[in-house]
Structure 1
Amino acid sequence: MNIAVEHIATDQPPDDSKARDLDYGWQSGNRLQLLENGEAYFPAVFDAMRKAQREILLETFILFEDKVGHELQGILIEAAQRGVKVVVSLDGFGCGELSPAFLRELAEAGVMVQMFDPASKTLGIRTNWFRRLHRKIVVVDASVAFIGGINFSADHLGDFGPEAKQDYAVQIIGPAVADLHHFALAQSGRQVRTRRGWRRRQQRPSPWTDEHGDGLVRLIYRDNVQHRDDIEEAYIHALSQARQRVVIANAYFFPGYRLLREIRNAARRGVKVQLIMQGQPDVLLAKLAARMLYDYLLKDGVVIHEYCQRPLHGKVALVDDEWSTVGSSNLDPLSLALNLEANALIRDRAFNQQLYQSLEALARDHCQTMPAKRKPRLWLWRLTVGFLVFHVMRHFPALASWLPAHKPRLKPIESPAHDV
């Protein structure tokens, strides 16, 4: 039987010429809410979906068939059955273990499910490792949006145990939602109206609020076409302007030399620079890679904390008392040179302070701080190796684009005959 699951194996922009080069500016008048971990994120997202009247757009890297995944499935099915348009975009690697029955139940209810770069296992091993759809975006009724690093899986909840992830997202209500909505539609291949039309729709009364806030928000993203460096450049620009403080909490930290140099330069000119890294990593290689850079940063006054309570999965940063970013992008070669990512840039003092207080408590209560006067151990050699590794990976998309698995295709699939 045919089920409404489409396979997308491209990171190219949609064919609509109006959506080829999406470039969003700052939008004012937004209300922002920091959401820490699944305990804050899932109730907010699920409540918005239950209130949906017209449309739910969802992109995620991981969706598991656990208590969170099944609750999400039930909410999406109920929404589709009452006439809400529901479009779900999943990554073929991160969601590669979803059962055909789980997907079929969504499709039969009218949910349009799309899979980015699906691939069957070869000798029991998944081979679609690179160029992931790593974004985590939800937009409901073009009125409320969520963006961050939290997947739809129970390992973002504290009761998961010692392996529960520490992570962040932001809820946005206001004009910036129109940009997130426009972007999510364009990337899903759905028909995109003019942005002016979506602005008019955004002015309709929202079921979540009667008034917006003062926050400035800008959507930035990276693809492997025209926006390869946008997130990296945003970090570099913000760091170059820093005068008081910088706090970066990032799960996978192995940036290129330009970004690394701006972090060091900020510390050299007297900015208080704090990095929060994984001390209890879910991927040991991530910790080892980050530690290759410690000596280079510590010798110029950067303060490095390793979060040891549980795995750190966050991708957030703040500069001074106004600028912040929350999104899906790590600071490593996969996110900065391969994956499809999206971050929200935020200029809002209240939000900045809220994020700062959360990260400061994390560093104070649950981290170990690396000694500032560690004996240098071949830091120049480590930095050189890191530089070479990063920039080899940086050119990988150009090579990978020649592989058959990454040629554009969009087609329905057949439900397995034995699936009941």
Structure 2
Amino acid sequence: MKDNWRNGNDVKLLVNGEDFFPRVFDCIRNAETEILLETFIIEEDKIGWRLQKELIAAAQRGVSIDITVDDYGTWDLSDEFIDSLTTAGVRLHLFDPQPKLWGVRLNIFRRLHRKLIVIDQKLAFVGGINFCFDHVISSGPDAKQDYAVEIKGPVVADIHQTCMLLLLRASSRKERRNYMGQARAAEQPAAGDMRVLVVDRDNGHHRTNIERQYLLATRLAQKRLVIANAYFFPGYRLLREFRRAAQRGVEVILILQGQPDMAWVSALSRLLYNYLLRSGVKIYEYRRRPLHGKVAVMDDKWATVGSSNLDPLSLSLNLEANVIIEDEGFNQQLHENLTTITEQDCEQLTLKAAVRGYWWRMPLIFLSFHFLRKFPTILNWLPAHTHKLKLVKPLQETSDTEQTSLTMPSKLSNSGNNVTQDEKLAYEKESIS
């Protein structure tokens, strides 16, 4: 497939929820015609309530709104939260809704993991930040370090098309009629001088797009390659290219989780350290808080920001979206940020530390590399399914049976979390510092 690079764009880096949420909410507040939003997680916390409030206000003034959330990631919103949105006219779609088995969610594969927002076909956001308070640093020591970008210019039409194609391909035949003729937005005039490419991954014709961009960047690197990634367990081809780049003199730096939100993920990553460190790859573990970012810079112009981790789920199963940016100024800004967190909040791993206990980990390391080599074949053993969306309707428009099948389980009633309406209103009024 030919890469569809767009010239004439403006891209702004947004670091953590402090940068991201105020800009998104302000743009929703000023939306005039259309909002498209895709995300993996919406939490029923102060960020989720603020999002709900802004979307309801936009819908009430006539803005067309389609929100698509993953059924696995966003499974526990209350009926009250959802019904407030749908009654106001927000179209809420569940990606691949599946029933639980004995109370356990088993639909862990092929998730909608990308985070995309398009406002009025003129402005877009792409990144890895979900709509939950733990992306705000003031939420506490478990707050996530993460990144997104705000984009204006011709490439916004490609991001809009990415969102619309999911609605067209995965909706029911009846609902699909609402999106006919809207798949391609009018191309916006130039807003800057940055060259940008939208790269999405799905389980159809774009299975390896994101991995291919990382491979290309690694092979073309001449001076430096800095990757910050939350969940690192890439395919064998990428591991081999990282080694080759380091061996030919490229400074290859990996910034990975040192204070993980899921300890087993870091344990898997560490099985690969010895293989990479022996060839000169530098590995730093971020220790200040959980790292959730998925960003990279190569040499002086190339950079990427998005939702894709370098692990089997993101590279081979999930729906993901990144943007590739070619611009010296943006590259330098992101590189300076990564350099700062490396110097202030990371611990560099040494080969001596990596080989400690190597004898008893050697069988696991052998199995890990064998697994990575065979993973594309293993994927064919997993049950395939067609991506589908289910539109959530207002409760008053559904029967009791339909309510059970079309709405998510109530987080508040099922968990015993007695959140009062006064507490919700207090959270909604609180600004994000």
Paired position in structure 2 for 1:277: 256
Change in CA separation of 1:90 and 1:62 when aligned onto 2, cut-off 3 Å: same
2:186 aligned with 1:199, yes or no?
A: yes
Give a deviation string over 1:308-333, Cα, whole Å, max 9, x none. 01000000011001000100000000
Change in CA separation of 1:173 and 1:408 when aligned onto 2, cut-off 3 Å: closer
Shift of 1:192: 5.1
Q: 1:289 aligns with which of 261, 268, 285?
A: 268
2:234 aligned with 1:255, yes or no?
A: yes
Give a deviation string over 1:279-332, Cα, whole Å, max 9, x none. 000011110011001001111111100000100000001100100010000000
Paired position in structure 1 for 2:202: 223
Q: Residue 243 of structure 1 aligns to which amino acid in structure 2?
A: Q
Change in CA separation of 1:179 and 1:163 when aligned onto 2, cut-off 3 Å: same
Shift of 1:399: 3.6
SS of the counterpart of 2:380? helix
Paired position in structure 1 for 2:104: 125
Shift of 1:396: 5.1
Q: 1:312 aligns with which of 291, 303, 320?
A: 291
Paired position in structure 2 for 1:385: 367
Change in CA separation of 1:375 and 1:72 when aligned onto 2, cut-off 3 Å: closer
Q: 2:71 aligns with which of 73, 92, 95?
A: 92
Shift of 1:385: 1.7
Q: 1:330 aligns with which of 298, 302, 309?
A: 309
Q: 2:380 aligns with which of 377, 398, 402?
A: 398
CA distance in 2, matches of 1:396, 1:117: 22
Kept in 2, the 8 Å contact 1:100–1:415? The answer is: no
Unaligned runs of 5+ in 1: 1-20, 204-210
CA distance in 2, matches of 1:142, 1:183: 12
Q: Residue 213 of structure 1 aligns to which amino acid in structure 2?
A: G
Q: Residue 279 of structure 2 aligns to which amino acid in structure 1?
A: D
- Provide the TM-score with structure 1 as the length reference: 0.87
Kept in 1, the 8 Å contact 2:91–2:391? The answer is: no
Q: 2:122 aligns with which of 143, 163, 182?
A: 143
Shift of 1:256: 0.8
Give me the identity figure in percent.
Answer: 48
Give a deviation string over 1:162-211, Cα, whole Å, max 9, x none. 1100000011111110100111111122625477x6335x24xxxxxxx6
Shift of 1:242: 0.3
Shift of 1:249: 0.2
Paired position in structure 1 for 2:58: 79
Greater helix share, 1 or 2? Answer: 2
SS of the counterpart of 2:186? helix
Change in CA separation of 1:396 and 1:80 when aligned onto 2, cut-off 3 Å: farther
SS of the counterpart of 1:198? coil
Change in CA separation of 1:126 and 1:194 when aligned onto 2, cut-off 3 Å: closer
Kept in 2, the 8 Å contact 1:77–1:111? The answer is: yes
Moved more, 408-417 or 256-265: 408-417
- Provide the TM-score with structure 2 as the length reference: 0.85
2:23 aligned with 1:44, yes or no?
A: yes
Paired position in structure 2 for 1:33: 12
Kept in 1, the 8 Å contact 2:228–2:294? The answer is: yes
Shift of 1:387: 2.7
2:40 aligned with 1:58, yes or no?
A: no
Shift of 1:381: 5.1
Shift of 1:374: 4.2
CA distance in 2, matches of 1:282, 1:144: 32
2:355 aligned with 1:367, yes or no?
A: no
Change in CA separation of 1:103 and 1:308 when aligned onto 2, cut-off 3 Å: same
Shift of 1:215: 0.7
Paired position in structure 1 for 2:136: 157
Shift of 1:390: 3.1
Paired position in structure 2 for 1:415: 403
Shift of 1:44: 0.9
Kept in 1, the 8 Å contact 2:306–2:322? The answer is: yes
CA distance in 1, matches of 2:213, 2:39: 23
Q: 1:171 aligns with which of 145, 150, 154?
A: 150
Q: 1:104 aligns with which of 53, 63, 83?
A: 83
SS of the counterpart of 1:113? strand
Kept in 2, the 8 Å contact 1:147–1:343? The answer is: yes
2:214 aligned with 1:235, yes or no?
A: yes
Give a deviation string over 1:99-138, Cα, whole Å, max 9, x none. 1221111110000000011223322221111110000000
Query: Which ranges of 4 or more aligned residues in structure 1 deviate by more than 6 Å?
Result: 417-420
CA distance in 1, matches of 2:22, 2:5: 28
CA distance in 2, matches of 1:411, 1:87: 10
Change in CA separation of 1:106 and 1:156 when aligned onto 2, cut-off 3 Å: same
Kept in 2, the 8 Å contact 1:295–1:374? The answer is: no
Taking only aligned residues, the RMSD between alpha carbons, in angstroms, comes to 2.3
SS of the counterpart of 1:57? strand
Kept in 2, the 8 Å contact 1:316–1:326? The answer is: yes
Give a deviation string over 1:228-272, Cα, whole Å, max 9, x none. 111001100110000001100000000011000111111101111
Q: Residue 98 of structure 2 aligns to which amino acid in structure 1?
A: A
